[in-house]
């Protein structure tokens, strides 16, 4: 798949080849004029075409010699860029470190530029905020999602989940949550409500109880005992629940005693708290829970991808754009922050650059040196080769005009002097 850079390079290559053809065509035209001048014996045209050919060929040689050996012949001082790549890199690194990274020049430019104000103004514009949001939404986030491994994220979530659970004393939480049950009438009312619900559900499931009893009685009883047994079970349970609803009943007092004893153990027994923690941690370690935790990342990833697929309607993209605009507006309206940012750039950042300018220069130099000479030559020719073809064209035309001028001087001398 071609990128925008590839398409741009193709366009540059086409433009370069077109200019090369134009320069070569002009030189060919000069050769044609020379042949015509010789054949028809036209001295003025011969002088023009001779000089044009010399100028065109000389400038062709000069331009080609920058990037490669003319006609593949290793002539001395040709293919200058690939053979002198290391020296070019060294000189470029020194030039940048000495000329660009100069405190006096940079301070003047920074004072004039007011980076913070211009940056905040740029960020606060909706169009620019949308560009940043689009860059993040189209390139950064999908790139991150493609780069990171799902297994690593799921493992990280599981480890964090386990560490957080192990750091929590659930026994204390349960004791704290149940402490209100030992005070006031809240416990009595809650227990009464619970018993009423149980009694109601018992009545609603009377037929189910009768069916279960029938399934459990011997087949040879022919169902004679089913009804009496089921009625006995139902009535016994129902009477038990009704009596338990009475706060003064023996059953209710026994239930209260059991609950209070249980709450005291949770509150005061370290062994009970350890059991509660072990039970909860054991539950968290079950496969079903682990699968659910693993599914969290899958759901997050799917939600992000689905949202980004909405394009301009993406909530993530709109949120990023809004945050960028808010950030820009916030800085723009904060004079103190603008001054701090500019001072940071002027003092701290500038000092870092200046203190490391030798490193920066060496980095540029080493980077250029690491490039392949032929590749550097081709890239530079692609960038500036089109304009250099004008040298060939101008050389041909200017050479021809100079040839005419020399011919005119020579003709005038012979005509008027001799």
Task: Read off the pLDDT of residues 227-240 as tens digits, 9 standing for 90 and up.
Answer: 666 677 677 777 77
Q: Pick 255 or 3 by higher pLDDT.
A: 255
Give 187-196 contacts, CB < 8 A, sequence gap 24+: 187/256, 187/259, 188/247, 188/256, 191/252, 191/255, 191/256, 191/259, 192/245, 192/247, 195/241, 195/244, 195/245, 196/245
Using the CB atoms, write b or e for 112-140: b if 16+ within 10 Å.
eeebbbebbebbbeeebbbebbbebbeee
pLDDT at 169 over 80: no
pLDDT of residue 55: 94
- Say how many residues make up the chain: 418
Pick the most confident of 50-64, 164-178, 323-337: 50-64
CB 82 within 8 A of CB 374: yes
Predicted confidence (pLDDT) at residue 386 exceeds the cutoff of 60: yes
**pLDDT tens by residue, 326-346:** 988 888 888 888 888 888 887
* Mean pLDDT for all residues in the chain: 81
pLDDT band at 217 (very low <50, low <70, confident <90, very high): low
Q: Distance between CA 121 and CA 333 in Å, rounded?
A: 10
Q: What is the pTM of this model?
A: 0.47
What is the model's pLDDT at position 226? 60
Q: What is the mean pLDDT of residues 202-211?
A: 73
Please, which pLDDT band fits residue 300 given cuts at 50, 70 and 90?
Answer: confident
Q: Is the pLDDT of residue 220 over 50?
A: no
């Amino acid at each position: 798949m071609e990128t925008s850079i590839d398409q741009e390079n193709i366009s540059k290559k086409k433009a370069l080849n077109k200019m090369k053809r134009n320069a070569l065509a002009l030189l060919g035209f000069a050769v044609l004029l020379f042949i015509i001048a010789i054949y028809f014996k036209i001295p003025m045209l011969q002088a023009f075409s001779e000089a044009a050919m010399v100028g065109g060929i000389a400038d062709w040689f000069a331009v080609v010699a920058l990037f490669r050996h003319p006609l593949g012949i290793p002539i001395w001082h040709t293919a200058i860029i690939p053979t002198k790549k290391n020296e070019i890199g060294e000189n470029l690194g020194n030039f940048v470190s000495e000329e660009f990274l100069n405190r006096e020049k940079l301070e003047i430019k920074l004072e004039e530029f007011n980076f913070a104000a211009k940056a905040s103004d740029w960020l606060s514009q909706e169009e620019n905020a949308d560009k940043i949001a689009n860059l993040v939404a189209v390139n950064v986030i999908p790139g991150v999602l493609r780069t990171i491994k799902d297994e690593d994220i799921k493992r990280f979530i599981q480890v964090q989940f386990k560490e957080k659970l192990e750091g929590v004393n659930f026994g204390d939480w349960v004791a704290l949550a149940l402490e209100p049950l030992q005070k006031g009438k809240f416990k009595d009312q809650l227990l009464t409500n619970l018993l009423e619900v149980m009694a109601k559900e018992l009545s609603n499931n009377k037929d189910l109880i009768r069916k279960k009893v029938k399934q459990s009685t011997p087949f040879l009883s022919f169902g004679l005992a089913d009804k009496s047994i089921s009625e006995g079970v139902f009535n016994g349970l129902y009477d038990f629940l009704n009596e338990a609803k009475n706060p003064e009943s023996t059953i209710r007092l026994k239930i209260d005693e059991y609950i209070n004893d249980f709450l005291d153990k949770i509150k005061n027994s370290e062994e009970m708290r350890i059991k509660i923690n072990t039970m909860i941690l054991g539950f968290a370690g079950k496969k079903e829970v682990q699968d659910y935790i693993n599914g969290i990342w899958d759901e997050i990833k799917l939600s992000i991808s689905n949202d980004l697929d909405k394009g301009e309607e993406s909530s993530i993209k709109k949120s990023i754009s809004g945050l960028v605009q808010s950030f820009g507006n916030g800085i723009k309206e904060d004079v103190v922050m603008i001054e701090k940012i500019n001072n940071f750039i002027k003092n701290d950042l500038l000092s870092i650059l200046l203190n490391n300018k030798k490193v920066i220069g060496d980095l540029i130099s080493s980077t250029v040196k690491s490039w392949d000479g032929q590749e550097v030559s081709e890239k530079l020719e692609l960038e500036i080769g089109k304009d250099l073809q004008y040298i060939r064209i101008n050389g041909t035309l200017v050479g021809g005009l100079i040839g005419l001028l020399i011919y005119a001087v020579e003709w005038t001398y012979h005509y008027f002097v001799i």
